[in-house]
């Protein structure tokens, strides 16, 4: 019986009357037919264009037979590690194995291999020597050229070479995967598919590459990290589909990896089409006995309104994956999806999110981008908003109002994060007021990341004064509305540029605020970000100037402990950090001190510790009073 899901086994295929499939999609995630999952979108896109697709989710990578369920596909294998890089999925920043995997039935860890894209590619090659293999998804996208791998602490080759695959479809691959399918259908050999934007291929002869820019060779970059920094910045400046050049990366004298410019952005009608396909909007029923797939919980009743991000944070890989040009769905498309929520028996009236990489971006930052592309060496918001920036929330406000008015909708949340400097750049306060009035439930999470302007500059974030202005305005609007709502700042420790001096500066800020974060994120060097390049090379690739990089695990522990200096477990680390930073004036009895002297600590709870449950209201009150000053 056809459940509406795509085939996951030969029996499903035969029940559809198929004798074979055109493509087999091999995924590191469990099969969830929801548009928040890359495998669901790509397979539904191919289905809409008339192709027959079977899905093999989380195959046993130790058994070649596990990818032979459908036999040899007529056109090729599509391979993705999943919605996350497999190494990020498996390991914390301290390289400890995670205990659960939200993309696996029952949250069980260990159902996919490390470096899954490469492992799956080689698994297929053991049986199918000549069948086309196309990599996609975020892991392949961010590892498409030579890249620093944090977990092995070395420069790795393009995943195209390590996987044995023929082609990479990088970025958001709806457009390129259809072009690849049509080329294969027309009889073009996979080795001759070298002309599609949004793809990476390999060749023994780069002489025919039109308009190509030769990057430093892999072996040379291994020997000289500064060469990698220069190469990375060339890549960074060529992530635009309109202005980007073809990039050629040599591997010895006889192998070259060629990156074509990114795919052109989807227009609104194309975006609407992609989200209108007949998704089942849940996990495959075969996972029910294991308890389902945890990752569906937060996204099942969320709306993806946009793609791309012109925020340009240094530690974010979106520039390399989705790009900086905003692509949006129409209000009508989003309303139709929300009306579908209201007909779902499990819907309780709460839309969990309306957003994308940055929730309050609903159009390109300026009109020039759709014909000329984004600026190569300038940012839209950093170090201050560009003069051409269109800071306008009117469309987003209109959308949110329509969603709130739907029968059956009780509350519309915004959880994918807002860019507070963009809010401050908008001269019209309507969105800010409606955000506080309708879309915050007690507390709003924002990401200032740090308070030191020296660190913020390396992060590509606005100066601290912008966040402080946002805090004051947020509190003022809440007072006017009679709301008792708070801000929860996300903060990052050990980012390149953060020495002990800047870490202590952040601790002092939290002292003055009267707030200690429950969670702190250590900087995580994931592939293909400016910050990761700084971490590996010790220089800022944008100007090649040296950057201080905290790498020693003990120093990173001290920086993290400073942010949570009130926790008694962190006392020794905080004391050591203050000594190292020459700030023992902060160990004493005055209100400005972070900790008491060692002799009076006695292993007991710090007198200034306010983490106990009974003091939560007091912390919030202090936070509010400080922010209002």
Percent of the chain beyond pLDDT 90? 89
pLDDT at 515: 84
Q: Does the structure show a pLDDT above 50 at 619?
A: no
Question: In degrees, to the nearest 5, what angle opens at C-alpha 200 toward C-alphas 195 and 204?
Answer: 85
Q: Looking at the chain, which residues constitute the CATH 3.30.750.210 domain(s)?
A: 301-441
- Which has more pLDDT, 624 or 473? 473
Q: Does the structure show a pLDDT above 90 at 21?
A: yes
pLDDT at 622: 42
pTM: 0.92
Question: Which tokens belong to 511?
Answer: 């002292």
Task: Confirm if 23 and 181 have CB atoms less than 8 A apart.
Answer: yes
Q: Give residue 602's pLDDT band: very low, low, confident or very high (50, 70, 90).
A: low
What is the spatial distance between Cα 264 and Cα 241, in angstroms, rounded to a whole number? 5
When the pLDDT of each residue in the chain is averaged and rounded to a whole number, the result is: 93
Q: Cis omega (within 30 of 0) on the bond before 544?
A: no
Q: Looking at the chain, which residues constitute the CATH 3.40.50.280 domain(s)?
A: 10-200
CATH label, 10-200, candidates 3.40.50.720, 3.30.420.40, 3.40.710.10, 3.40.50.280: 3.40.50.280
pLDDT at 600: 65
Using one digit for the tens of pLDDT, what is the confidence trace for 36-91? 999 999 999 999 999 999 999 999 999 999 999 999 999 999 999 999 999 999 99
What is the spatial distance between Cα 351 and Cα 152, in angstroms, rounded to a whole number? 40
What are the helix and strand counts (H, E) for the chain?
A: 25, 24
The three-state secondary structure class of 286 is helix
What is the spatial distance between Cα 178 and Cα 458, in angstroms, rounded to a whole number? 38
Using one digit for the tens of pLDDT, what is the confidence trace for 375-427? 988 899 999 999 999 999 999 999 999 999 999 999 999 988 899 999 999 99
Using one digit for the tens of pLDDT, what is the confidence trace for 329-342? 999 999 999 999 99
Domain 301-441, architecture per CATH: 2-Layer Sandwich (3.30)
Task: Confirm if 110 and 56 have CB atoms less than 8 A apart.
Answer: no
Report which of 462, 458, 463, 455 is spatially closest to residue 503, judged by C-alpha positions.
455
Distance from the Cα of residue 415 to its chain's centroid = 14
Using one digit for the tens of pLDDT, what is the confidence trace for 115-127? 999 999 999 999 9
Using one digit for the tens of pLDDT, what is the confidence trace for 537-570? 999 999 999 999 999 999 999 999 999 999 999 9
Using one digit for the tens of pLDDT, what is the confidence trace for 299-322? 999 999 999 999 999 999 999 999
pLDDT at 601: 58
What is the spatial distance between Cα 179 and Cα 140, in angstroms, rounded to a whole number? 18
| DSSP per-residue letters across 92-107 | -TT-PBPSB-TTSGGG
| DSSP per-residue letters across 412-458 | E---S---HHHHHH-S--HHHHHHHHHS-SSEEEEEEE-S-HHHHHH
């Amino acid at each position: 019986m056809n459940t509406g899901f795509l085939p996951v086994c030969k029996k499903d295929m035969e029940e559809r009357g198929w004798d074979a499939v055109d493509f087999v999609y091999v995924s590191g995630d469990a099969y969830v037919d929801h548009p928040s999952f890359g495998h669901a979108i790509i397979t539904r896109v191919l289905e809409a264009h008339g192709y027959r697709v079977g899905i093999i989710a989380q195959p046993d990578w130790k058994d070649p037979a596990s990818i032979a369920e459908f036999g040899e596909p007529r056109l090729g294998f599509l391979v993705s590690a999943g919605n996350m890089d497999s190494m990020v999925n498996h390991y914390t920043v301290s390289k400890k194995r995670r205990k659960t995997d939200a993309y696996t039935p029952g949250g069980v860890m260990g159902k996919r291999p490390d470096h899954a894209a490469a492992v799956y590619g080689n698994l297929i090659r053991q049986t199918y020597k000549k069948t086309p293999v196309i990599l996609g998804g975020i892991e392949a996208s961010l590892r498409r050229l030579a890249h620093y791998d944090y977990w092995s602490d070395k420069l790795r080759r393009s995943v195209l070479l390590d996987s044995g695959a023929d082609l990479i479809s990088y970025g958001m691959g709806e457009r390129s995967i259809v072009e690849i399918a049509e080329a294969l259908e027309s009889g073009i050999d996979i080795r001759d598919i070298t002309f599609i934007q949004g793809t990476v291929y390999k060749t023994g002869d780069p002489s025919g590459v039109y308009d190509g820019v030769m990057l430093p060779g892999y072996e040379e970059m291994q020997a000289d990290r500064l060469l990698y920094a220069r190469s990375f910045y060339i890549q960074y400046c060529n992530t635009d589909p309109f202005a980007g050049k073809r990039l050629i990366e040599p591997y010895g004298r006889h192998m070259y990896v060629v990156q074509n410019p990114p795919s052109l952005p989807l227009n609104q009608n194309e975006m609407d089409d992609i989200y209108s396909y007949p998704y089942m909007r849940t996990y495959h029923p075969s996972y029910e006995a294991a308890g389902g797939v945890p990752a569906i919980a937060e996204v099942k009743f969320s709306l993806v309104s946009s793609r791309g991000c012109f925020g340009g944070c240094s530690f974010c890989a979106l520039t390399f994956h989705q790009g900086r040009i905003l692509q949006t769905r129409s209000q009508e498309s989003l309303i139709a999806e929300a009306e579908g929520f209201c007909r779902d028996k499990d819907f309780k009236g709460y839309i969990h999110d309306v957003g994308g990489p940055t929730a309050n971006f609903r159009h390109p930052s300026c009109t020039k981008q759709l014909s000329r592309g984004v600026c190569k060496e300038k940012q839209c918001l950093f170090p201050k908003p560009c003069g051409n920036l269109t800071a306008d929330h009117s469309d987003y406000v209109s959308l949110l109002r329509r969603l709130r008015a739907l029968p059956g909708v009780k509350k519309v949340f915004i959880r994918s994060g807002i860019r507070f400097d963009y809010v401050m750049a908008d001269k019209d306060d309507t969105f800010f007021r409606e955000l506080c009035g309708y879309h915050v439930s007690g507390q709003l999470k924002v990401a200032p990341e740090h308070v030191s302007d020296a660190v913020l500059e390396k992060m590509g974030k606005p100066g601290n004064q912008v966040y402080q202005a946002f805090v004051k305005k947020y509190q003022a609007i809440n007072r006017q509305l009679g709301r008792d709502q708070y801000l929860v700042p996300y903060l990052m420790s050990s980012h390149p540029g953060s020495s002990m001096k800047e870490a202590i500066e952040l601790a002092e800020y939290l002292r003055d605020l009267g707030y200690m974060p429950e969670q702190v994120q250590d900087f995580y060097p994931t592939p293909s970000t400016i910050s990761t390049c700084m971490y590996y090379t010790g220089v800022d690739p944008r100007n090649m100037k040296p950057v201080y990089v905290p790498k020693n695990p003990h120093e990173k522990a001290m920086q993290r402990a400073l942010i949570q200096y009130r926790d008694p477990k962190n006392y020794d680390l905080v004391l050591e950090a203050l000594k190292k930073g020459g700030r023992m004036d902060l160990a004493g009895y005055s209100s400005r001190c972070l900790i008491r002297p060692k002799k009076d600590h006695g292993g007991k709870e710090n007198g200034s510790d306010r983490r106990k449950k009974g003091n939560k209201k007091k912390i919030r009150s202090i936070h509010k009073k400080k922010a209002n000053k």
